[in-house]
Amino acid sequence: MKMKGAIIGCGFFASNHMHAWKELNNVEIVAACDLNLSKVKSFCNKFHIPNQFTSIEKMIQNIDLDFVDVVTTMETHLDICKILSFYKIPTSLQKPFSNTFQNAKKIVNLYKKSKTKLMIHENFRWQTPIVRLKKLLKLHNLGTPLYSKISFRHANPVGYINQEYLYDLKEYLILDVGIHLYDLARFFMGEAHSVYTINQNTNKKFKGETAFTSLLRHSNKSVSIVDASISSIKKPDCFAQTLITLECKNGTAILDYNYNITIHKNKKKLKVVAQPKKYKWTKKPWNQIQESIINTHKHFIYSLLNNITSDTNGEDNLKSLNIVFASYKSNTLNKEIDLKL
């Protein structure tokens, strides 16, 4: 029997989510909701979704749902989650899951109080190269991580076509991309205790920062350098790949361009290619991200079917979001900020 779900938000990125849902045999998206009637009609026609709504409450009251996938902008999330948590609808929520840390905590508490599952759609953790790198660290016993460099630097404007609202954000790249990278730093290195960040605006079309560099301190005096830019001119351009170096007690692992992973240990070198799987609807340079949406959906459904807490649940992702807002504070005050929840 298929699980029945709905999508809230029928904008640009929702199409990627919907294509990904269609790859899961045990799921059926039976409804979509958007405040814009013409937009939700067009979306439902495109993906053959039988029920369309402009009201979340009417959708919930008329359709029996096992879960909802929220693919709207962050400032809408609190009001949407108030409704979904009240009706106890398990929720996959697009990142960043709030535009303020206070509202993020409110969202987590809403689901905690209603005893309803909340997963943040932190898809970078589920990218094929990232998952493979994590497995290789354990397989080859590279040991305690001491240093990491996590980098997302490119000059490809394709990421911002159909997302013009990004130009007007006063806080841009850290919220949009940094949240992913900080989460990966936690994923590989453990919890961070402090952050020092310098922001730059390298593209005047954007009101917010278009480049940043952060130093994270982790336990055992390990450190991470996390950086991103949309003005890094190089050929070939590596959008939308995240490049990672992990220096560990027993060796080093490097995730490089074109999904190449190199393991250095005992004066030996092992090379692996962690190529994302191709689907009819995925295309370069988005394919790595698009495939990860499928993997993230699968994890969400698995957590629901097995009644377990998802890896990127609300309380976990609060820690990544905390680094985001601490980074903005660090840049403003020009000082290292302790990461206390």
Q: Which of 54, 88, 116 is the last residue of a domain?
A: 116
- Amino acid sitting at position 330: S
pLDDT at 160 over 70: no
Assess whether 166 and 268 both reside in one domain: yes
Asked whether residue 219 is domain-assigned, the answer is yes
151: domain range? 125-283+319-338
CATH, residue 173: 3.30.360.10
- Position 291 pLDDT exceeds 90: yes
With 0.85 as the threshold, say if the pTM is over it. Answer: yes
CATH code for the domain in which residue 84 is found: 3.40.50.720
pLDDT in tens, 116-149: 999 999 999 999 999 999 999 999 999 999 999 9
* pLDDT attached to residue 32: 98
Considering only 52-66, 200-214, 247-261, which range has the smallest mean pLDDT?
Answer: 200-214
Q: Is 289 part of a structural domain of the chain?
A: no
Of the listed ranges 140-154, 161-175, 236-250, the least confidently predicted one is 161-175
Query: Residue 341: pLDDT above 80?
Result: no
Between CA 245 and CA 253 the distance in angstroms is: 6
Task: Give the pLDDT band (50/70/90) at residue 205.
Answer: confident
Is the confidence at residue 234, as pLDDT, over 90? no
Q: Is residue 105's pLDDT more than 90?
A: yes
Amino acid at 119: M
Report the 10 Å Cβ neighbour count for 222. 20
Radius of gyration, alpha carbons of the chain: 20
* Same domain, yes or no: 201 and 329: yes
Burial class of residue 301 in the structure, from the number of CB atoms within 10 Å of its CB (0-12 exposed, 13-18 middle, 19+ buried): buried
| Rounded Cα gap, residues 64 and 77, in angstroms | 22
Please identify, among 116, 150, 179, the residue that sits at the C-terminal boundary of a domain: 116
Terminal-residue alpha carbon distance, the chain: 41
Report the mean per-residue pLDDT for the chain. Answer: 95
Q: What percent of the chain has pLDDT over 70?
A: 98
Residue 12 lies in a domain: yes
- Residue 96: asked if its preceding bond is cis (omega within 30°), the reply is yes
How distant is the alpha carbon of residue 303 from its chain centre? 17
List strands edge to edge, sheet with 67-70: 51-53, 27-33, 3-8, 67-70, 91-94, 118-121
Res. 107: pLDDT tops 70: yes
Residue in 282, 286, 243, 245 with CA at minimum distance from that of residue 264: 245
Mean pLDDT computed over 62-75: 97
- How many domains are there within the chain? 2
pLDDT of residue 242: 97
Please, are residues 210 and 201 in contact by the beta-carbon 8 Å criterion?
yes
Mean pLDDT for the stretch of residues 219-246: 92
The pLDDT value given to residue 167: 85
Q: Looking at residues 172-182, what average pLDDT do you find?
A: 96
Confidence at 157, pLDDT banded by 50, 70, 90: low
Of the residues 61, 81, 116, which one is the last residue of a structural domain?
A: 116
- The reported pLDDT for the residue numbered 70 is 98
* pLDDT band at residue 158 using 50, 70 and 90 as cut-offs: low
Q: Omega into 90 within 30° of 0, i.e. cis?
A: no
Indicate whether 216 and 251 sit together in one domain. yes
Position 270 pLDDT exceeds 90: yes
Q: Is residue 72 domain-shared with residue 168, that is, in the same domain?
A: no
- Residue 38's pLDDT band, with cuts at 50, 70 and 90, is very high
For residues 288-292, give the mean pLDDT: 95
Domain annotation covers residue 246: yes
Q: Are residues 77 and 133 in the same domain?
A: no
Q: Is the domain of 260 the same as that of 148?
A: yes
Length of the chain, please? 341
Distance in angstroms (rounded) separating the CA atoms of residues 304 and 297: 11
Percent of residues, the chain, with pLDDT higher than 90:
89
Q: Are residues 53 and 151 in the same domain?
A: no
Q: What is the mean pLDDT of residues 170-184?
A: 96
Let me know if residue 312 belongs to a domain. no
Q: Are 25 and 132 members of one domain?
A: no
